[in-house]
Amino acid sequence: MTTALIIGASGTVGSRLIDDLTSNDGGLTVRLSSRQPATVEKWRSEGRESVVLDLDTPNTFTEALTGVDRVFLLTGYTAEMLFQSKNLVDAAVDAGVSHMVHLGVFSSRRDPVPHYAWHDMIEAYIEASGMAWTHLHPNVITDTILVREPSIAKTGSFTVNWGEATQGWVTAGDIAAVAAAVLREGPDVHGGKDYYLSSELLTGPEVAGILTDTLGTKITCRVSNADDQARYAATIEDAGTRLYIESAAAKMRHAEAGNLPFELSVRDDTERVTGHPPTTIAQWAEANLRAHA
């Protein structure tokens, strides 16, 4: 039986990946991981195979990786992703893992954005490790912008931090569906592949218009900018997180200035990998917001 370790299993994409794999594991044994022991105990009480794995604590890697064939690697929003990922890749090689699936960013590999370069370097290290690899490159993840507390249903609005610039969008469900297919079908089908996920090009106000038309209730977009993000970054005490948020602000500044032309493309491999077309913003709203409108 092939075993896949899911890192980031409780997050926006990871939780949907688990749902997808649970509904159709394709003969795959799924091992969930979290840095929170309470979360792991909850999963175990539900009959799910799960382990404590803290990317900042390498001595948790051995147990988590024992007997694992495939790994889904998703790191947190911190500059520590570089050190975390290198340690995890090294441990995976030592454990005999055969396939690493990495969730990165929608990058040309020449973009002037620090955390994009970090992902590029992680992927280069994975490729040099000797393991089979597959890289997933999502553009702006719909759910991370539109699913907040308080919710759109309560506020009637959401915020984007890149002014009125156009961005490519993809849903967390589509990312998870692609990741699930890759993990089930393995490196014979998906080894050495880069999959890009950017299905619609829209400004924040255009997304608000789609939500308004779909839900039949007025939704507005609060247009913020990179300066707001930079001011937020200055309030963060943790250095690694602050560096990441500063990089996010730089990305937004470049987006506003039109300096990231690669991001302004519809390039989506969802249907190629899963057999179904990508989810539109309107379809996402029907599925996720209609009940609360």
Full set of structural domains in the chain with CATH: 2-137+172-196+266-278 (3.40.50.720)
Enclosing H/E stretch for 75: none
Please tell me the predicted confidence (pLDDT) of residue 178: 98
Place of tokens 């997180």: 241
Half-sphere exposure for 122 (CA within 13 Å, toward CB): 29
Place of tokens 């506020």: 155
Quick check: pTM over 0.85? Answer: yes
Please tell me the predicted confidence (pLDDT) of residue 153: 75
pLDDT mean for each 10 residues of the chain (293 residues):
95 95 88 96 96 97 98 95 97 98 96 97 98 98 87 88 94 98 97 98 97 94 91 94 95 93 95 97 91 60
Q: Tell which residue, 1, 18, 179, 172, has the closest CA to residue 100.
A: 179
**Three-state secondary-structure class, residue 45:** helix
Enclosing H/E stretch for 207: helix 204-215
Place of tokens 């799960």: 50
Please tell me the predicted confidence (pLDDT) of residue 247: 96
